Each structure stands twice: as C-alpha cells, then as structure tokens.
C-alpha cells in the first residue's frame, strides 16, 4: 500500500508540473504577440494597425476606422530641429489607451531628448472626432510649458473614415 501511495503523489506532482508548464507556455506566447513595436531606424515614425491579431505598417494612411487599434513608434534621434536640450517632453493624442483617452502628458523630469517614443498596442482610434490628433510631441525649455516656448517635433493628424457622427471640432 505504501508503494501505491508514493506513485499517486509522484503522478500528482507530474500533473501539476505539466499544468504549470502549459500555462507558462501560453502566457509567453501571448506576451510575444504584444512585444514592443520597434523604434524605426530610417524614418521619423511608424504607425502600426492591427486586424485579426496581425499588425501591418499603415504609416502612409490618413484615414482610419473608428475604434481601430493602432501603435505609434517615433525615432526622436531622427529629429534634429528641436530647440532645447535638455528639455521637457510632452505629448498629446486624441486616441484612447487602456486607461481611457490619452490626452496631454508631460514627462516629469528635466531630461535630454530620449532616443524614441512609443504608444503601444491597446490604443484605439476615437469614434467621436472626424479630424483627430494621432500624436503630437513637443519640447519645452522648462516646466512653465508656455506656448511661446513650445517646439513641436511631430504632429500627426488622422481622419475618420465614414464618419457619421456630429462634428464637434
């Protein structure tokens, strides 16, 4: 009877180990699908659109579907026409992230210009604006954020395809 008990314990441990391995494999496969989009090397920015879980470069598009998932990657090293170094970097977007509308955000620390910037998968095109800001990146010399000191690095606009709502901008 002792021998049977040992085999049952070993068999139970092996089943738990197999379940753990299966969960880990599926977790890393899903995580692999959500890998950071690369910073473009030769261009200033790349826009990735997603359809049925497959991403494709849609950087040359200006028309987007309402609620369409997108990612944006910017190579800030390509931009040489900024006025301030070090600087405060701010970005604005009308698209929505996982926590709601992105809006305007500024990086909190006095920084030198980073090499790149990303809005990752999980961001979606707005449904309520015919013309919207995909991404606007600006730098300021200090934390006063005066409009007169603003140096715009990138300003990408998009247009809703087949917009049927009330125009509010």
Of 104, 111, 168, which Cα lies nearest the Cα of 135? 104
Q: Residue ranges of the domains in the chain?
A: 1-33, 45-160
The burial class, CB within 10 Å (0-12 / 13-18 / 19+), for 122 is: middle
- pTM, two decimal places: 0.67
Pick from 11-20, 44-53, 77-86 the range whose average pLDDT is largest: 11-20
pLDDT tens digits for 128-169?
888 999 899 888 887 788 888 888 888 999 998 875 554 444
Nearest-angstrom CA–CA distance, 96 and 86: 29
Over the stretch 53-101, which tens digit does the pLDDT of each residue have? Answer: 788 889 888 899 888 888 888 887 766 665 566 678 888 998 887 777 7
pLDDT the model gives residue 5: 84
Say yes or no to pLDDT of 33 above 60: no
Q: Which fold has domain 45-160?
A: Immunoglobulin-like (2.60.40)
Name the residue with higher pLDDT: 111 or 124: 124
Residue 84: CB atoms within 10 Å: 16
């Amino acid at each position: 009877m002792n021998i049977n008990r040992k085999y049952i314990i070993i068999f139970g441990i092996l089943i738990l180990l197999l379940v753990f391995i299966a969960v880990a494999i599926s977790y890393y496969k899903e995580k692999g699908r959500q890998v950071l989009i690369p910073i473009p090397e030769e261009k200033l920015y790349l826009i990735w659109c997603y359809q049925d879980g497959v991403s494709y470069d849609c950087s040359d598009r200006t028309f987007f579907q309402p609620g369409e998932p997108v990612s944006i990657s910017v190579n800030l090293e390509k931009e040489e026409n900024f006025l301030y170094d070090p600087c405060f970097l701010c970005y604005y977007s009308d698209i929505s992230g996982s926590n709601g509308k992105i809006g305007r955000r500024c990086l909190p620390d006095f920084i030198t210009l980073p090499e790149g910037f990303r809005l990752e998968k999980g961001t979606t095109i707005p449904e309520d604006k015919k013309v919207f800001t995909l991404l606007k990146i600006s730098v300021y010399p200090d934390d006063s954020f005066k409009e007169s000191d603003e140096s715009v690095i990138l300003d990408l606009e998009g247009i809703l395809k087949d917009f049927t709502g009330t125009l509010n901008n």
